[in-house]
Amino acid sequence: MIYKIAKTELKTLFYSPIAWLILIVFTIQSSLSFMRVLDSSVTLQELGRALQGITHRVYSHHRIGLFTTIQQYLYLYIPLLTMGLMSKEISYGSIKLLYSSPIKNREIILGKYLAMLFYSLIIVGILFLYVLYGTFTIENMDLAPALTGLLGMFLLISAYAAIGLFMSSLTSYQVVAAIGTLAILSLLNMVGNLWQEIALVREITYWLSIRGRSNEFISGLICSEDVLYFLIVIALFLSLAIIRLNAHRQKTTFGKTFSKYAVAFFVALFLGYFSARPKLMIYHDSTRTKSNTLTENSQNILSQLNEKVTIKTYSNILDPYYYLGLPRGEMTDLRRFRQYLRFKPDMKLKYYRYYHATENPSLEKRFPNMTDRERMLEFSRVLRLDSAIFKSPEEIAKLEDLQPEGYRFVRTIITESGKKTFLRVFDDMEVTPSEAEISAAFKRLVMPLPQVAFLTGHGERSSGRLRDRDYNKFAQEKPFRYSLINQGFDFSDIELNQPVPQEIDILIISDLRSPLTPQEMELLENYIDRGGNLIVAGEPSSREYTNAILAKFEVEMLPGTVVRESENYAPDFMVGIPTKEAGEMIYWINTMVKKDYVLSMPSTAALKYNPNGPFSVMELFRAESEGNIWNETESTNFIDGHLTINPKAGEESLNDAPLVIALNRTINDKEQKIIVLGDADCISNGEIGMRRTGVSSMNYNFIMGAFYWLSDFEVPIDVRRPPSIDNKLNLTLSGITKARWSFVGVIPLLLLISYLTIWIRRRRH
């Protein structure tokens, strides 16, 4: 009976022009969206631009992808289809015939809905044509996530159809049914932002929201929560439609009908609540590169975390990043950790909000002559928040000492046994921590991480000072994403007045301003002889003191300063060109090789080494191979005057000369690793953030790569994924023109001819 009703409904639907008109308009609109992204991709390829992950770009890109674009206007079509499903039966009086027949109400509703599912399959079939076309034009297309996106589109349309069917059962006016459907869809899109400040209803309203429910399907991820959401919503509105027909047929009182509605609604919420429990979720990442899943390294870290974990978020309303910790953003914040909850479902998130003076100069301008509490109250008033949720400085101090963090937005990750680490936000465009920083924080809880020590006592570069020449930025600047403490390292400052502690893994000696004493040299040699790793960074001005250390490795800094002829920069400003061998050994440097980035090195010395010495040597960065480059030993004035090479003074051409080298050997059953730089400025505070016109430098990449190698590839966490292979379109500009005519013109025309054929044949009969 359900099948017969569906068949009858489909005949009625396709005998009318509305179904065909919707298909034609939908096809034209979808074709225009598809051709827009395909055209831009072909244009970029023809211009010589390298494309990566074309499947994602064409179908799933968050701004221009086909499925992303389509879901934004899909809700406009469904009310036009569903508005007459039951309304016309009520309006024409044919509903009485159905009531008088031995047909059950659920058969009527399910039959009508089955017809809508068939129509939904036709819409998805049209979308499949674009996917099919992609399999012929995208080389090595990643088909699985595109099909997953189609599944998401089908479930979304099916949910819209169930809602439309229910609204159609409420009224005899089709226009009212259409408007009512649009109203419900709008409400379901907005409800996720309603009452998020109220803890009791936050999860309910967030779960009810249909907005973005198909996004994960579009990105290639199938999650049981999203699948069950659509199934529950479909079942809910079909149940409501059946209850409505029963009430209409049996003349049930409003109170009894409303109670049935309420029961159906609360059952749906109950099922939805359990479907959203992390422990009950099932995932399938259909992408070839598993882009929706934690990398294997991150999964391994979580697998070693056998204790329950709590992430405590501390949000200061007077901090510039206060918005990350507002109550209305808790559910969104939870999704930031969704990939981790997949593998650690017992992880809990807690939130603490407070007010405290912090580095935020704009507050004094916006709210002058106010106390911190008065500013908090003003924020609460404007943001419509209950000021009682913000703890005072005294109250928050009892929970956590946030003074070392400057009272910025910060999280603590705490295990049951009391192990704790901080997870920060950063002063960059991304702000929130990525997988690398989150996994590094978790790694601190499960294993000892590399200890880095900075040698002090001889005028070396400081790990704590903020001067341009010092190393605070990459060592311990907390708002800097790539600082050692945010990437999984611990650091300390040491003097050579006693043996280097056994727990030190990497020792940094940078720009000695005075020589090591014999006793200090002996302690350093003991560290080297036991296999300790080193970074030795010199400067032309401190060459003598640095060479005393490098002599043990049969390496030396050549006399003078490397200079070059340059119209725009000082002669002693050099750029280090990464070597191919360095890129093969350290992937961070490989990025520099592929993208033609360089290491900016103001005032550097060239290095000389014995290739047959006790260490294997690899050149990481060399001087440029073109241009006039030499070691200047006579002049130290690099601002005035004209420099020329003087072979009589021992000056020689240094094209391709090594500026940074890596040494390694096996000693005491471990691999010892050492990096030597002819310039200490290239990793300084000032140089990391320096931008020069015409110089594409990426010094922080070298720093990360160097410590990645020195830590035996432990940290920073390697979160790379396999490279995409769908990077080429087998399509030309002329091919795009043909495709545009086919999709925008031919297919809609065929649909129109199909409708006219059916209409003419029906007229004849």
Handedness of CA 149, 152, 158, 160 (dihedral sign): negative
In this prediction, residue 552 carries a pLDDT of: 93
pLDDT in tens, 416-459: 999 999 999 999 999 999 999 999 999 999 988 899 999 999 99
Query: What percentage of the chain exceeds 90 in pLDDT?
Result: 72
What is the band of 641 on the pLDDT scale with cuts at 50, 70, 90? low
Is 192's pLDDT higher than 80? no
- The contacts of residue 30 (CB under 8 Å, 6+ apart) are 66, 70, 126, 127, 130
In this prediction, residue 758 carries a pLDDT of: 87
Is 659's pLDDT higher than 80? yes
Is 153's pLDDT higher than 70? yes
In this prediction, residue 345 carries a pLDDT of: 92
Is 518's pLDDT higher than 90? yes
The stretch 277-288 carries a mean pLDDT of 92
What is the band of 252 on the pLDDT scale with cuts at 50, 70, 90? confident
In this prediction, residue 638 carries a pLDDT of: 78
Among the residue ranges 57-66, 193-202, 235-244, 575-584, the one predicted with the least confidence is 193-202
**Can you name the residues that pair with 311 across neighbouring β-strands?**
349, 413
Is 59's pLDDT higher than 80? yes
Peptide bond into 611 cis (omega under 30): no
DSSP code per residue over 446-461: HS---EEEEE-SSSPP
Is 259's pLDDT higher than 90? yes
The stretch 548-555 carries a mean pLDDT of 95
The stretch 604-624 carries a mean pLDDT of 94
Is 353's pLDDT higher than 80? yes
Is 747's pLDDT higher than 90? yes
pLDDT in tens, 383-404: 989 999 999 999 999 999 999 9
The torsion angle over the Cα atoms of residues 525, 527, 531 and 532, rounded to 10 degrees, is -120
Is 202's pLDDT higher than 80? no
Is 647's pLDDT higher than 90? no
In 204-242, which positions are buried (b, 16+ CB within 10 angstroms) versus exposed (e)? Answer: ebbbbbbeebbbbbbbbbbbebbbbbbebbbbbbbbbbb
The torsion angle over the Cα atoms of residues 158, 161, 167 and 173, rounded to 10 degrees, is 180
Is 100's pLDDT higher than 80? no
Burial (CB < 10 A; 0-12, 13-18, 19+), residue 625, is exposed
**How far is it, in rounded angstroms, from Cα 550 to Cα 503?**
23
Is 211's pLDDT higher than 90? no
pLDDT in tens, 14-29: 888 889 999 999 999 9
Burial (CB < 10 A; 0-12, 13-18, 19+), residue 698, is buried
Is 54's pLDDT higher than 80? yes
What is the band of 567 on the pLDDT scale with cuts at 50, 70, 90? confident
Q: Whose CA is closest to 57, among 652, 635, 724?
A: 724
**How far is it, in rounded angstroms, from Cα 481 to Cα 426?**
6
Q: Whose CA is closest to 508, among 558, 474, 478?
A: 474
**How far is it, in rounded angstroms, from Cα 588 to Cα 601?**
18
Burial (CB < 10 A; 0-12, 13-18, 19+), residue 748, is middle
pLDDT in tens, 467-478: 999 999 999 999
Distance of CA 624 to the CA centre of its chain: 36
In this prediction, residue 31 carries a pLDDT of: 95
**How far is it, in rounded angstroms, from Cα 137 to Cα 736?**
11
Instruction: Give the three-state DSSP class for 724.
Output: coil
Is 292's pLDDT higher than 70? yes
In this prediction, residue 200 carries a pLDDT of: 67
Domains of the chain: 2-288+728-764 (no CATH), 296-442 (3.40.30), 448-710 (3.40.50)
In this prediction, residue 277 carries a pLDDT of: 87
**How far is it, in rounded angstroms, from Cα 161 to Cα 123?**
13
Burial (CB < 10 A; 0-12, 13-18, 19+), residue 553, is buried
